[in-house]
Each structure stands twice: as structure tokens, then as C-alpha cells.
Amino acid sequence: MDVHEYQAKELLARYGVPIPRGGVVYSPEQATYRAKELGGSAWVVKAQVHAGGRGEAGGVKVCTTDREVNEVANQMFGSRLVTRQSGPEGKLVYRLYVEEASRIQRELYFGIVVDRSTERIMVVGSREGGVEIEELAELRPEALVRISVEPALGFLEFQARELAFALDIPYELVPQAVHVFRSAYRAFRDLDAAMVEINPLVITDSSAGASELVALDAKMSFDDNALFRHLEIAELRDRSQEDARESHAADRGLAYVGLDGDIGCMINGAGLAMATLDMIQLAGGAPANFLDIGGGASPDRVLKAFRAVLNDQNVTAMLVNIFAGINRCDWVAQGVVDAFAAIDVRIPVVVRLAGTHVEEGRAIIAASGLPILTADTLAEAAELVVTAARREKVLDGHPA
């Protein structure tokens, strides 16, 4: 689960990470009032959406007058911000964050992620902040400093100092840097985060007083499986920023990822699901989703999965691909039949069953009398569903 910038900053600030003064607003009038309340001569108005690249897309504006703050806020509210991470549909802007402008001397990068390859928490830093870290890692990996955290010990003080030295932080700011790095790590650990990113972490200009480190932007995402331990974090969820299909499925305990195609998929097992998506594309089709119903799927769970797939209006055909181990093909088959009785299924459905109780499952499908296409192999199923999807497009008057 992702949270907004202002929420991430509030969480990090609780652990001692310094942030600029600011506040969230829900109208242009509130934005103007917030700027006056903060005082000063310049403010930054930021669109609060779950996508990076806001600055390039016009979602971050520096304003020098109250009137300018109001005008910028008026333009942003209700707009759809399209960034390199939002997809072509963009993200609706419902809230803004107004904060005091900072005098920046240098920009750095600091992040904490779970590194699955080493099964460790990885602390990452760079002397270059405010840039797309994925591009930097690909083009110039030597610009990144990586420190692996031993789970039994945590992120130690000497490691934080080494990172500060590697980032060429001025000697007088090293103690504060150590505090910031370790505070962010504690927030990551205590809140069961999956990622903490401060980009940029800035060193302020000393001309306005003593230099200090400030988290100018922040992102946090959390392990969904641990949210039951952190109800205050779960309440920060903003459904307006999520794919409606994914939200619908997640609320019903289904592992679902929305894609851009038109062939709905219901599969058990992540590996089989990935192979099925590849096979559909090899056959010339485009999957509309990744949906793993998991093991031990009851007919009721299959019905929920059907509803989740058909919740996508772009779906023109559906493939049910089950290789039953813990699962049982007769349970799945009964769930498919029940789905036809409970839902007005108007698209072609292809079912491929294999594994435990496969003969019983096929018998249930055959005895139902429903217009369900069946296949013995994955390749055959993929060809059938792609052909069916093309036929539906032609019948609807769209080019295949």
C-alpha cells in the first residue's frame, strides 16, 4: 500500500526526520490560507498523487504570491495528472500539499528497500538527488552506494557514518545525517514498510542560517500482509489513487493486477499465471489482468474471481486455467457453473483443467450445458481464447 507524500513526511517526522513546514489542503481557498499561515515569501504547491515525475508533469509549482498559490491550486484541483509513472490515464488530483520553499545547496538521494536477492534490507544512497533513481541505477550504477543491513543487528551507527562520508556530506552535518538515516530506518522497521525513499534529501543553503539536512520529498509503501498490525497506517489508504479493479479484488482476498489487454484470466499459482500471460501474448492476444485464486479455491472463491475479472469492461473473452494440486478441479468447475448462474456472462469463456479430480471437473462442465469452451493444453486454451476475443471484437464492430 502506498501513501501520499505528506503522509510519508508526517510518519518520518515522528521518528525525527526533519521536513519543511507545510500542510495538506483540499481547496484553493485553503491553499491560500495555508501559505499565509506559513509565512515567508515563497511556497511550493504539490499535487498529492501516487506517481513519480510530478514536477515534469506540472504537479509541483513554486509560487511567490498568495494570488499565485490560489491560481495554481485552482488549476490543479480536479485535474488529471499524467506522469511517466501514472500511465496514460493519469491520476486525479483531490488534495494538494503546500509547504515553505527551501533554499537548496545540494540534493542527495536516500532510500531503504527490501532486497529479495540478498533477503536483506538494503540502504541506498547517492550524491545525485532529485533524479529518477531507476535510470541512475541502469545508466551509472557506480553512482549508487548500497549497504546491506544484518537483520539481527539493524542499521548500525558506523554504517550510517560510512554512508554520510560516501555521499560527501560536510563534516559538521555528519552527526545529523547519521540521525536522519537511522531515524528513517527505524520508521521502516517499526511500521513494516516495504520502501522508504527521500528524494531529494537536501542540504540547505547556509546563507539563510546554518545548513541542515531536510527531507524535501518522501515516499513510503507498506507490506499489505502486515497492515493488520498497523491500523493507523491502513487508514491512510487513498482508494481514489488505486486501480478500481485491483481494489475490488483485494477487498475479496484475491491477488489481482490490472493490465491493458482484453482477455480476462483466472489462474491458480503465480508461476502458471505468468506462463499463461506469456502464452496468450504468443498467440497474438493481450491479457487484461493477472489473477491468482491460490490453492484450495472453493466454488464461492471462484465466483468472486469471476466477478473481479468481469468488473473490467474491456474484457471480451476469459480464460480459466487451473492446474490442481492443493486445489480440486471439481471445485473450480462447480464455481464456473455457479458463476454463470449468478452473473450474466455474455463473453466467451475457455476452461482448461488439469490435476486433482480433473475428470470430475470436466464432467461438471460437460453436464452443465453451458456454452463453455474447453481445452486440454495451455497452448490450445490460449489459441481458443484469443480467437474468441477477436470474434467478439468483430461482432461489436471493432477491428480484430
The reply to whether 145 and 3 lie within a common domain is yes
Residue 225 assigned ligand-binding role: no
- Domain holding 127, by residue range, is 1-19+103-242
Of 101, 134, 151, the residue at which a domain comes to its end is: 101
Residue 126 assigned ligand-binding role: no
Q: What is the CATH number of the domain that holds 61?
A: 3.30.1490.20
- CA–CA distances in Å: residue 340 to residues 250, 334, 336, 385: 22, 10, 7, 17
Does the annotation mark 109 as catalytic?
yes
Euclidean distance between CA atoms 136 and 355, whole angstroms: 46
DSSP for 93-153, please give it. ---EEEEE---EEEEEEEEEEEETTTTEEEEEEES--SS-HHHHHHH-GGGEEEEEEPTTT
Q: What is the CATH number of the domain that holds 130?
A: 3.30.470.20
Ranges under pLDDT 70 in the chain: 207-209, 242-244, 246, 248-253, 295-297, 394-400
The total number of structural domains in the chain stands at 3
- CA–CA distances in Å: residue 89 to residues 82, 116, 159, 243, 299: 7, 31, 42, 11, 35
156 contact partners, CB below 8 Å, separation of at least 6 = none
Q: What is residue 292's three-state secondary structure?
A: strand
123 touches 197 (CB < 8 A): no
What pLDDT does 38 receive?
94
Of 218, 242, 266, the residue at which a domain comes to its end is: 242
Q: Which of 5, 197, 383, 392 is catalytic?
A: 197
What pLDDT does 84 receive?
78
The reply to whether 329 and 381 lie within a common domain is yes
State what percent of residues in the chain have pLDDT above 70.
93
The reply to whether 2 and 127 lie within a common domain is yes
Of 190, 221, 242, the residue at which a domain comes to its end is: 242
The reply to whether 6 and 153 lie within a common domain is yes
Would you tell me how many other CB atoms lie within 10 Å of the CB of residue 165?
13
What pLDDT does 210 receive?
81
Euclidean distance between CA atoms 177 and 170, whole angstroms: 10
What pLDDT does 276 receive?
93
Q: What is the CATH number of the domain that holds 296?
A: 3.40.50.261
Residue 321 assigned ligand-binding role: no
In a domain, 311, yes or no: yes
The reply to whether 222 and 280 lie within a common domain is no
Give the cell for residue 30.
Answer: 485553503
The reply to whether 163 and 63 lie within a common domain is no
What pLDDT does 381 receive?
93
DSSP state letter for 356: T
What pLDDT does 297 receive?
64
Indicate the pTM of the whole model.
0.75
What pLDDT does 400 receive?
53
Does the annotation mark 185 as catalytic?
no
What pLDDT does 249 receive?
66
What pLDDT does 77 receive?
93
In a domain, 287, yes or no: yes
The reply to whether 259 and 120 lie within a common domain is no
Residue 55 assigned ligand-binding role: yes
The reply to whether 48 and 91 lie within a common domain is yes
The reply to whether 124 and 167 lie within a common domain is yes
Give the cell for residue 265.
Answer: 484470466
What pLDDT does 147 receive?
95
Residue 46 assigned ligand-binding role: yes
What pLDDT does 295 receive?
63
In a domain, 400, yes or no: no
In a domain, 378, yes or no: yes
The reply to whether 163 and 199 lie within a common domain is yes
Euclidean distance between CA atoms 184 and 170, whole angstroms: 20
Residue 37 assigned ligand-binding role: no
13 touches 208 (CB < 8 A): no
In a domain, 256, yes or no: yes
Q: Which of 6, 15, 97, 109 is catalytic?
A: 109
What pLDDT does 159 receive?
96
Residue 199 assigned ligand-binding role: yes
In a domain, 30, yes or no: yes
The reply to whether 379 and 274 lie within a common domain is yes
The reply to whether 290 and 355 lie within a common domain is yes
251 contact partners, CB below 8 Å, separation of at least 6 = none
- Please compute Rg for the chain using Cα positions: 25
Residue 146 assigned ligand-binding role: no
Euclidean distance between CA atoms 183 and 190, whole angstroms: 10
In a domain, 356, yes or no: yes
